[in-house]
């Protein structure tokens, strides 16, 4: 049976209502992903977690999103768009409630994984609903308006989470989202048209499970590698072998199966392939500062949660500016918007490479605004150009892969950055502490050491704390360097995209 949306065109008022609630759900979705960025330090203290363990709250959520997103097409074909959308929003809301009620790190990570996995289909479904219910000549407009949800999330999530967490505790940063989630659920329930499941598609469990195991294994190795000594640990060796074997199974099965989980023929499309590369780099650069900066600001700058939320949320303010700039540059050439966005992101990364422990909140906020401008200028043009010459029949699968790549790249890069901070902090701490000795002439000069005293235990503790701060800052500067390099690498790819001239 054909969808009602294909048989009976929806009225303008109903389409506008659907657009409003889709934008609301998308905003809520990105708010929930980023809400923990401002409260990670408070959760770390409350649940007695280490620096790498606390990052799992973010990385495993993104990983679950990456694994769950490609299932969207199969779920819709089996159950219908409305049923899948409403079920995902309901499950997503319940998982958010349980995140707020969690009393251990393990429980919080578990519910964050379910939150990401259940909510994963909402993003491609929102795009599909809007593209299907609005005429083709309005696609650019509705996708631009809907893209505001991606931009508003980084403003609302960290800012309000930091303010609420400081006054009422980190749990309320999750609980505050429930009324909005419930409202969005009932809004979609009554505004979306009824539709029937489409043609039954056989789900490729071999491809899906092998990919899920490969991605999970990679994430586990990156997250635990530094703590366990990388390949000196049998645990890491086994996880690497399992991940490699699973990826081989996925690759060989996808190249030989009649209807694989992911169709590699999509890579023959030039714009889509370049779009995958660009969105991978975009995912690496968009979420990583949200995870790295709060821990840095709380542990080594002693900033309160409210200020951390405002500094992280400054990216969202820049995102609004970037969104409107993209609307003007898109009229000339969307490739210019993408290249300019990555160019400015390179500048922002280079700026961060010159941060030190004396950097002011104003400077960090201005840098966050600049990053937000870049994110706003990149996301919508990349999303439009990547699918500019795809047929409607191939769009759902391509959208699933698009978000899969973005989330996997983001999760992997976050883990790499956390591992680099831990590695570099240890190496530099050991190196600098070699100079803390009574035989160092510098430590006997009052104009050099100031109030530090290397002859007492309390004095040595103060010096050790300062060396820890400086060595950790070096580690963060190394990650900012990686950020800058990948932003610069993305610029040439923007000019490899060809204008939309047909459907293939």
Is the model's pLDDT at 449 over the cut of 70?
Answer: no
* φ, ψ at 354 (rounded to 5°): -105, 10
Same domain, yes or no, for 311 and 442?
yes
Q: What is the secondary structure of 317-382 as a DSSP string? A: HHHHHHHHHHHHHHHH-HHHHHHHHHHHHHHHHHHHTT--TT--HHHHHHHHHHHHHHHHHHHHHH
Mean per-residue pLDDT of the chain: 81
pLDDT interval class at 154 (50, 70, 90): low
Same domain, yes or no, for 391 and 499?
yes
For residue range 26-42, list pLDDT tens digits in order.
888 878 877 776 687 78
What is the CATH classification number for the domain harbouring 474?
Answer: 1.20.1250.20
Question: 65 with 119: CB under 8 angstroms?
Answer: yes
Write out the residue range of the structural domain in which residue 49 sits.
Answer: 1-203
For residue range 295-315, list pLDDT tens digits in order.
788 788 888 877 887 887 788
User: What is the predicted pLDDT for the residue at 40?
Assistant: 76
Highest mean pLDDT pick, 34-43, 172-181, 192-201, 255-264: 172-181
Angstrom distance (rounded) from CA 78 to CA 437: 70
Same domain, yes or no, for 121 and 182?
yes
* Closest CA relative to residue 365, chosen from 351, 378, 379, 377: 351
Angstrom distance (rounded) from CA 173 to CA 169: 8
Angstrom distance (rounded) from CA 382 to CA 337: 9
Same domain, yes or no, for 294 and 241?
no
User: 34 lies in a domain?
Assistant: yes
- Of 260, 293, 326, which marks where a domain is finished? 260
The percent of residues in the chain predicted with pLDDT above 90, rounded, is 14
Same domain, yes or no, for 242 and 319?
no
pLDDT interval class at 142 (50, 70, 90): confident
Same domain, yes or no, for 413 and 346?
yes
Two tokens, residue 333:
């050439």
Same domain, yes or no, for 370 and 473?
yes
Q: How many domains does the chain have?
A: 3
Angstrom distance (rounded) from CA 59 to CA 332: 37
User: 288 lies in a domain?
Assistant: yes
User: 176 lies in a domain?
Assistant: yes
Same domain, yes or no, for 127 and 253?
no
Angstrom distance (rounded) from CA 85 to CA 124: 10
Mean pLDDT of 290-298: 80
Same domain, yes or no, for 130 and 227?
no
User: What is the predicted pLDDT for the residue at 51?
Assistant: 67
User: 122 lies in a domain?
Assistant: yes
User: 9 lies in a domain?
Assistant: yes
Is the model's pLDDT at 157 over the cut of 90?
Answer: no
Query: Any idea what the Cα angle at residue 207 is, between residues 203 and 210, rounded to 5°?
Result: 130
Angstrom distance (rounded) from CA 488 to CA 468: 31
* Closest CA relative to residue 272, chosen from 500, 11, 27: 500
Lowest mean pLDDT among 337-346, 369-378, 406-415, 464-473: 406-415
User: What is the predicted pLDDT for the residue at 6?
Assistant: 44
Same domain, yes or no, for 86 and 230?
no
Same domain, yes or no, for 451 and 478?
yes
Highest mean pLDDT pick, 84-98, 152-166, 182-196: 84-98
* φ, ψ at 389 (rounded to 5°): -125, 35
User: What is the predicted pLDDT for the residue at 200?
Assistant: 64
Is the model's pLDDT at 377 over the cut of 60?
Answer: yes
* Closest CA relative to residue 39, chosen from 149, 135, 171, 145: 171
Mean pLDDT of 15-24: 84
pLDDT interval class at 5 (50, 70, 90): very low
User: What is the predicted pLDDT for the residue at 451?
Assistant: 64
Q: Please, what's the b/e burial string for 33-61 (b: 16 or more CB within 10 A of its CB; e: otherwise)?
A: bbbbbbbbbbbbeebebebbbbbbbbbbb
Same domain, yes or no, for 135 and 68?
yes
User: 106 lies in a domain?
Assistant: yes
Angstrom distance (rounded) from CA 386 to CA 278: 9
User: 2 lies in a domain?
Assistant: yes
- Of 213, 233, 260, which marks where a domain is finished? 260
User: What is the predicted pLDDT for the residue at 481?
Assistant: 93
Mean pLDDT of 342-367: 91
User: 265 lies in a domain?
Assistant: no
| Greater model confidence, 36 or 197 | 36
pLDDT interval class at 262 (50, 70, 90): confident
């Amino acid at each position: 049976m054909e969808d009602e949306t294909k048989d009976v065109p929806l009225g303008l008022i109903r389409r506008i209502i659907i657009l409003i609630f889709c934008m609301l759900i998308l905003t809520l979705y990105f708010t929930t992903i980023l809400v923990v960025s401002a409260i990670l330090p408070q959760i770390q203290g409350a649940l007695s977690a280490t620096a790498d363990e606390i990052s799992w709250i973010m990385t495993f959520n993104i990983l679950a999103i990456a694994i769950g997103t490609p299932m969207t097409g199969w779920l819709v074909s089996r159950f219908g768009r409305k049923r899948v959308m409403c079920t995902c929003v309901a499950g997503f809301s319940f998982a958010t409630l349980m995140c707020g009620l969690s009393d251990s790190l393990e429980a919080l990570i578990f519910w964050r994984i379910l939150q990401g996995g259940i909510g994963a289909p909402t993003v491609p479904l929102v795009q599909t609903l809007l593209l299907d219910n609005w005429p083709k000549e309005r696609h650019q407009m509705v996708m631009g308006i809907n893209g505001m949800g991606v931009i508003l999330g980084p403003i609302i999530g960290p800012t309000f989470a930091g303010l609420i967490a400081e006054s009422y505790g980190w749990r309320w940063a999750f609980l505050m989202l429930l009324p909005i989630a419930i409202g969005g659920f009932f809004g979609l329930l009554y505004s979306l048209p009824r539709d029937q499941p489409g043609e039954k598609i056989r789900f490729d469990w071999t491809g899906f499970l092998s990919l899920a195991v490969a991605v999970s294994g990679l994430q586990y190795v990156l997250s635990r590698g530094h703590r366990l000594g990388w390949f000196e640990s049998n645990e890491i060796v086994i996880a690497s072998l399992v991940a490699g074997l699973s990826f081989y199974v996925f690759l060989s099965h996808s190249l030989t199966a009649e209807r694989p989980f992911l169709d590699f023929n999509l890579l023959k499309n030039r714009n889509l392939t370049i779009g995958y590369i660009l969105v991978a780099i975009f995912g690496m650069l968009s979420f990583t500062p949200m995870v790295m900066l709060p821990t840095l600001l709380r542990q080594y700058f002693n900033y309160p949660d409210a200020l951390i939320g405002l500094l992280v949320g400054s990216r969202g303010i820049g995102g609004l500016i970037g969104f409107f700039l993209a609307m003007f540059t898109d009229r000339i050439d969307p490739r210019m918007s993408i290249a300019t966005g990555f160019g400015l992101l390179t500048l922002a990364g280079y700026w961060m490479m010159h941060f030190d422990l004396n950097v002011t909140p104003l400077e960090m906020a201005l840098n966050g605004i600049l990053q937000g401008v870049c994110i706003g200028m990149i996301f919508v043009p990349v999303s439009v150009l990547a699918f500019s010459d795809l047929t409607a029949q191939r769009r759902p699968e391509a959208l699933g892969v698009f978000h899969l790549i973005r989330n996997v790249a983001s999760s992997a890069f976050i883990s790499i950055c956390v591992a680099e901070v831990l590695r570099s902090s240890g190496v530099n701490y050991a190196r600098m502490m070699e100079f803390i000795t009574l035989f160092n002439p510098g430590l006997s000069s009052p104009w050099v050491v100031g109030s530090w005293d290397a002859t007492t235990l309390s004095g040595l503790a103060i010096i050790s704390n300062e060396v820890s701060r400086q060595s950790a800052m070096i580690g963060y500067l190394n990650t900012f360097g990686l950020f800058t390099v990948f932003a610069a690498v993305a610029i040439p790819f923007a000019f490899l995209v060809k204008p939309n001239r047909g459907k293939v």
